[in-house]
Amino acid sequence: LYMKEAAKRKLVHNKLIELQGNIRVIARVRPVVQAELNSGEHREVVDCTTDEDLVVHRDSTTRTRFEFDRVCDQDSTQAQAYELVSPLVTSVLDGYNVCIFAYGQTGSGKTYTMEGPEDNRGVNFQAIAEMFSVAEERVEDVEYKFKFNMLEIYNETIRDLLGDSQLKQLNIRQTAAGNVVENLTEIQVGSAQEVFDAMNSGATNRSVGSHNMNEHSSRSHLVVCVMTSGVDKHNGIKSKGKLHLIDLAGSERISKTDATGDRLKEAQAINSSLSALGNVINKLGEKKPGHVPYRDSKLTQLLQDSLGGNSKVMMFVNLSPVSYNMSESLCSLAFAARCRAVQLAGAKKNDDTDKREIKKLRAVIRAAGIAAKL
């Protein structure tokens, strides 16, 4: 029965990917924060109109509407945000590669969404806890092993956040089995708590050598990775999956006049790696054969085997609700819409039969207890 269910899950997931593409975008608007109240420009301009739409009120007459796979408004809880990605997380145990990103300007809520405060944990913690608990539920049927690594990408250099080589910069090597980071510390982990402990020490290492942790973290990408390998106890069939959890560097534009020297270099590195990510996602979404520009940044090189093919990508686009940040919000929304536009273009050629099929598949997934949207 287990095998049958697993095979059915995979079939349905693959069919959905085929029909809808593998990229989903969730917009999450955070509540107004004190700094915004102090700025005096705290008119709320982002209006979550439905579960799938939001409207930006540029001024009293101009409004722009954006559509996403899901919109999480200011009242959305950490549990509600996690619920949307939970099916992807558990599919890692079925052998999928999954990337969950948080994109947005500094202060928009990326770290809140991914890491979350200690008393209200975000995606990273909930995902890891759920992976271990699902593995436990399947213990009669599958033996799972877990490995963990954690790195950051700063100025296009990769730094290991575990082990003692974190100050050395690491290189990516192409192998038959995909791209690997040479000499990256990888640890075996046997429980969610072990991963949490490793994440904590990684976070401590991250702050070493940076005089301002907040600034540093907003200018580097944080990549947390859990790898699973499962062996079916009945038939010996093996599966491997990877979950990448990525808190991206702040997407804000820095004006050339404000930034000089190191600051300008940082800004350019962030800019080019975020646009490389957008270009890769856009190209993949076209689903046309052709060159995918993975090599344009360390981030896309690193994630090459987790972005295309049968992998699944979830992008949180984090947004401030107020006028003070509106132009950055519009930039983030444009990035997100571009990630998704290709989805729509891909879906456009779906005729009604495909739409009916998608509906049916979603019903199957719902019945199997997997969230329907994804």
Annotated binding site for ATP: 104-111
Dist CA 281 CA 313 (whole Å): 9
Q: Which of Mg ion, ligand ADP, none has residue 149 at its interface (CB below 5 to 8 Å by kind)?
A: none
* Binding status of residue 239 toward Mg ion by CB under 5 A: no
Q: Which of 106/165 has CB closer to ligand ADP?
A: 106
Q: Which of ligand ADP, Mg ion, none has residue 358 at its interface (CB below 5 to 8 Å by kind)?
A: none
Residue nearest to Mg ion (CB): 111
The alpha carbon of 238 is separated from its chain's Cα centroid by a whole number of angstroms, namely 26
Binding part of the chain for Mg ion, among 34-42, 50-58, 102-110, 335-343 by CB under 5 A, reads 102-110
Q: Which of 28/362 has CB closer to ligand ADP?
A: 28
CB of 44 to ligand ADP, least distance (A): 14
Dist CA 307 CA 100 (whole Å): 10
* Binding status of residue 113 toward Mg ion by CB under 5 A: no
CB of 252 to Mg ion, least distance (A): 12
Mark residue 242 as left, alpha or beta (left: phi above 0; alpha: psi -120 to 50; beta: remaining). beta
Helices 78-91 and 123-137 meet at what angle, rounded to 10?
A: 50
Q: Count CB neighbours of 201 within 10 A.
A: 13
Task: Report how far apart, in Å, the C-alpha atoms of 234 and of each of 52, 141, 142, 158 are.
Answer: 42, 7, 8, 40
Binding part of the chain for Mg ion, among 84-92, 103-111, 195-203, 312-320 by CB under 5 A, reads 103-111
Residue list for the binding site:
104-111
Query: Quick check: 195 and 189 in contact, CB under 8 A?
Result: yes
Side-chain half-sphere CA neighbours of 188 within 13 A: 4
Q: Which of Mg ion, ligand ADP, none has residue 112 at its interface (CB below 5 to 8 Å by kind)?
A: ligand ADP
* Binding status of residue 111 toward Mg ion by CB under 5 A: yes
Q: Which of 117/293 has CB closer to ligand ADP?
A: 117
Q: Which of 114/135 has CB closer to Mg ion?
A: 114
Q: Which two tokens stand for residue 364?
A: 């199957």
Query: Quick check: 99 and 302 in contact, CB under 8 A?
Result: no
Binding part of the chain for Mg ion, among 1-9, 45-53, 91-99, 107-115 by CB under 5 A, reads 107-115
* Binding status of residue 108 toward Mg ion by CB under 5 A: no
Residue nearest to ligand ADP (CB): 109
Q: Residues interacting with ligand ADP, by CB under 6 A?
A: 30-31, 33, 104, 106-112, 218, 318
Whose tokens are 């409004």? That residue is 63
CB of 233 to Mg ion, least distance (A): 41
Task: Report how far apart, in Å, the C-alpha atoms of 350 and of each of 34, 193, 200 are.
Answer: 46, 44, 45
Query: Quick check: 92 and 134 in contact, CB under 8 A?
Result: no
Q: Which of Mg ion, ligand ADP, none has residue 30 at its interface (CB below 5 to 8 Å by kind)?
A: ligand ADP
CB of 116 to ligand ADP, least distance (A): 8
Provide φ and ψ at 138, rounded to 5°: -95, 10
* Binding status of residue 97 toward Mg ion by CB under 5 A: no
Contact residues for Mg ion (CB under 5 A)? 110-111
